[in-house]
Amino acid sequence: MTPHAVHTPPPGAHFMNVLRWALFAFLAVLAIVSIGTYVASRNPRTSASQSGAQAVYHCPMHPEYTSDRPGECPICGMSLTRIKSKDAAGAAATGGGDVPGLTTVYIAPDRIQRIGVRTAIIERAASSGGLDLVGFVTPDESRLRRVQVRAAGWIRRLYVNQTGERVQAGQPLLSIYSPELFQSEQEYLIQRGVHDMAPGAAPAAANPAAERLRLLGVPDEEIRRLDREQKAATELVLRSPVSGTVLERGVVEGQSVSADTPLLTVADLSRVWVMADLYEMDLARARIGDEARFTSDALPGRVFDGRIEFITPTVASETRTLQVRMALANPDGALRPGTYGRVSVASHGASALWAPTEAVVDAGEHRYVFLAHAGGHFEPRLVQVGGTDGERTAILAGVAAGDTVVASASFLIDSESRLRAAIAGMGAQPAGGHDHGGGK
């Protein structure tokens, strides 16, 4: 055999070489698959996501645990409930909602029927009725009269025994002794020249003492008496300036008073005001000049018609209301201050979006509804509400006409949504997870 002779492989060597490499590739693929299976088994979410449309099971109390076969939860021992991955995908597709602390939830159709969920369609329509407000009677402030003098003194006698007493214009109310008034009357007589003028003569045209008396609150009747009798009075009698009712009495007999002491307040109640509270959300439904009607249980069968004369420009921070005022004639005094009743304001019939009042969840800081999507998915949605009209509430923003909202059992869906959001917040599973109430 020469050094350059060619070595010929034995028969079957080529086949064995191919078989060796094929076996090596098979073992490598098997190792990769085994590692992937092990990793997936250690991550429940990954195994669930890879199952596609395959039915999976999870624990109602620990939704983070899922399995591809029925059994018991290894954490709490509760039986696993069946869910479908397409349901989870559908819930995630609808979004988590825009309400803090809530998320979109899926509820199985049989459970929806058991808890009595009803839905309603958001509609655009005009208001069907006017405003019904609570009002009360109050004196017309332009017809209040304060009885008072601008000098210190003592109350000698009261002719009014109690508040609520009716008096006539010119009727004596009280008498007051005031050294300052007595001295001013004497100065008036001196300046008038009482010793040089005959009794009954007309007063001088220009007498500064007369103006001083008027500035102190002395009525013209008293000044005419001085001209007539030529004698200063030790007591000044104050009379009612109008016919009306004594609403306030701030003094008693013998009491000392000063220039700023309120003595009596008399109100002419032949015309009164009715004040009604108007919520700021209803402000657009009431205008100055609108027809209004006042009725009261204290006056059965009586109806008082009027118009809105004034709406206060500020909103009370405590009640979030404004006050609406209407004036009513009260010739027989039937409308007494403090009487409560109902004020009905004619409606403008403004167009708005309306939802059942029961559909709006008021959480204090937020108001929201649950939009009902196909397949049993419910999405929380923040809304801005307006006024109410019977059993409907106006929706100013947040939804559109034609949207479907939950009209009953909202509190159950709200609880479900909060639970899901809390679980998602702990990193248990994505917001909007699976149904965990399919019959348990």
Q: What does the pLDDT look like over 75-113, one tens digit per residue?
A: 777 787 776 544 443 444 344 677 888 888 888 888 888
309-333 mean pLDDT: 92
pLDDT confidence bin for 129, thresholds 50/70/90:
low
> What confidence score (pLDDT) does residue 433 get?
42
What is the rounded average pLDDT for all residues in the chain? Answer: 79
- Rounded to an integer, the average pLDDT of 365-380 is 87
Higher-confidence residue of 247 and 201: namely 247
pLDDT (mean) for 15-39: 66
The pLDDT of 340-365, averaged and rounded, is 82
Tell me how far apart the alpha carbons of residues 327 and 67 are, in angstroms, rounded to a whole number: 74
pLDDT band at 10 (very low <50, low <70, confident <90, very high): low
- Please tell me the least confidently modeled range out of 96-105, 107-116, 231-240, 301-310: 96-105
Query: What confidence category does residue 271 fall into, taking pLDDT thresholds of 50, 70 and 90?
Result: very high
Contact of 223 with 213, CB cutoff 8 Å: yes
* Residue 227, pLDDT above cutoff 80: yes
Determine the length of the chain.
440
Residue 112: per-residue pLDDT: 84
- Amino acid 39 reads V
Question: Amino acid identity, residue 152?
Answer: A
Quick: pLDDT tens for 387-399. Answer: 777 688 888 888 8
Please calculate the CA angle 242-243-249 and round it to the nearest 5 degrees: 80
The pLDDT of residue 353? 84
pLDDT: which is higher, 202 or 29: 29
Among 32-36, 132-136, 230-234, the range of highest mean pLDDT: 132-136
pLDDT at 66: 72
- Residue 155, beta-bridge partner list: 176
Q: How confident is the model over 37-65, as a mean pLDDT? A: 53
Pick from 15-19, 65-69, 320-324, 390-394: least confident: 15-19
Phi-psi region of 235 (alpha: psi -120 to 50; beta: other; left: phi over 0): beta
pLDDT band of residue 330 (cuts 50, 70, 90) is very high
Nearest to 277 by CA among 300, 311, 244, 243: 311
Sequence letter at residue 369: V
Least Cα distance to 304 among 346, 268, 334, 267 occurs for 334
Query: For position 248, what pLDDT does the model report?
Result: 92
Please say if the pLDDT value at position 339 is more than 50.
yes
What is the pLDDT, as a whole number, of residue 71? 85
pLDDT of residue 402: 87
Amino acid symbol at 368: Y
d(C-alpha 40, C-alpha 18), whole Å: 33
All structural domains of the chain, each given as residue ranges with its CATH number in brackets, are 13-83 (no CATH), 84-128+351-425 (2.40.420.20), 131-140+269-345 (2.40.30.170), 147-265 (2.40.50.100)
What local confidence, expressed as pLDDT, does residue 127 receive? Answer: 67
Taking the C-alpha atoms of residue 229 and residue 212, their distance in angstroms, rounded to an integer, is: 19
Q: Average pLDDT in the 16-37 region? A: 67
Tell me what the mean pLDDT of segment 147-152 comes to.
88
Q: Dihedral of CA 147/153/159/164: which sign?
A: positive
Phi and psi for 386 in degrees, rounded to 5?
-110, -140
Task: Say whether pLDDT at 413 is over 90.
Answer: no
The CA distance from 356 to 122, in Å, is 8
Q: Decide if pLDDT at 289 tops 80.
A: yes
User: What's the rounded Cα separation, in Å, for the pair 94 and 251?
Assistant: 73
d(CA 275, CA 309): 10
Please report, as a single letter, which amino acid is at residue 426: M
Q: Is 371 exposed, middle or buried (0-12, 13-18, 19+ CB in 10 A)?
A: buried
Give the count of beta carbons closer than 10 Å to the beta carbon of residue 249: 20
pLDDT at 345 > cutoff 80: yes
Average pLDDT over residues 322-347: 91
Secondary structure percentages of the chain, helix, strand, coil, to 5 = 25, 30, 45
The percentage of residues in the chain with a pLDDT greater than 90, rounded to a whole number, is 27
**Eight-class DSSP state of 358:** G
Confidence of residue 425 (pLDDT cuts 50, 70, 90): low
E strand or H helix at 20: helix 13-42
Q: Which amino acid is at 146?
A: R
Better pLDDT: 345 or 60: 345
pLDDT band, residue 440 (cuts 50/70/90): very low
Task: Provide the pLDDT for residue 281.
Answer: 77
In a 13 Å sphere around the CA of 307, the CA atoms on its Cβ side amount to 5
